[in-house]
Amino acid sequence: LLVNAPQSVFSLMIVLYNGCLTSMSLMETWNSFSKQPEALRVSWYHQKSKYYLTIPYHYAIPLLVLTSAFHWSVSNCIFLVSIKAFRDTKAQPQDSVYAIGYSSLSILIAALICFILVIMLTWKSLQRYVVRMPVAGGCSLVISAGCHKIEGDGAPQLGKVMWGVVRRQDTESWGHCAVGGNITVRHIALAISLRYPLWGSIEKACLGLM
């Protein structure tokens, strides 16, 4: 039990690490809709296919390699040692030894991989987004508030969409921020601050056009 305990602890840490990286990756994908028209990740039309590993491959593949090597090194850090004694081809249970061994090299490799994983997550968390789009992460409430269909926009979900300031239907002025087709949505410029309803009486601010 003592030998296998580190595997359980580090497995939980990897799950939490993967969840944190996935949330950051979702925010990166969400923010990309404010830079240029992007396709949704579904099966056909102009959309992109879904990720088999949940997150983009340039994150998923290094993470998969590092976590696999990490689990292998952790499994070799502490291990069970069984030494059975024999005398004249007869087993001597009283002289047999059962102990816990450790590998200094495996501990060093595990510490190095852990350091690399921490650096990767720190580097990712310090990245800044060009457009100050409302931070969503995995919050469906924020995503839903920004994805209300724009009247007269046709079927934007079948093509490419982007996030920006939406033109009001009754006037020629620009209104709230939302996701829609690239014809009805304009890029965000660093100008006046707009507010749009998020949930009930709660509002969210975004930067709009002069």
Q: What is the pLDDT of residues 30-79, one digit of tens each?
A: 777 777 777 766 555 454 555 555 677 778 888 889 888 888 888 888 88
Please tell me whether residues 157 and 110 are part of one structural domain. no
| Among the listed residues 146, 180, 148, the one whose alpha carbon sits nearest the alpha carbon of residue 162 | 180
Kindly state whether residue 168 falls inside one of the protein's structural domains. yes
Please give the C-alpha separations between residue 47 and each of 51, 61, 105, in angstroms, as whole numbers. Answer: 12, 23, 47
- Based on the number of CB atoms within 10 Å of its own CB, is 200 exposed (0-12), middle (13-18) or buried (19 or more)? exposed
Residue 130 domain-assigned? no
Residue 22's pLDDT band (boundaries 50, 70, 90)? confident
Check whether residue 18 and residue 109 sit in a common domain.
Answer: yes
119 and 170 both lie in a single domain: no
* 34, 179 Cβ separation under 8 angstroms: no
* The total number of structural domains that make up the chain: 2
13 and 52 part of one domain: yes
Asked whether residue 74 falls in the same domain as residue 149, the answer is no
Is 132 contained in some domain? no
133 in any annotated domain: no
Name the pLDDT band for 207 (thresholds 50, 70, 90).
very low
Question: How many angstroms from the chain centroid is the CA of residue 103?
Answer: 33
Structure confidence at residue 108 (pLDDT): 92
> Would you state the structure tokens that stand for residue 199, as one six-digit string?
């949930």
Over residues 106-123, the pLDDT tens digits come to: 889 989 998 998 898 888
State residue 191's pLDDT score. Answer: 39
Q: Are residues 14 and 101 in the same domain?
A: yes
Predicted local confidence at residue 194, as pLDDT = 47
Is 91 a member of any domain?
A: yes
Q: Which residue range is the domain that position 201 belongs to?
A: 140-207
131 found inside a domain: no
Give yes or no: residues 146 and 97 share one domain.
no
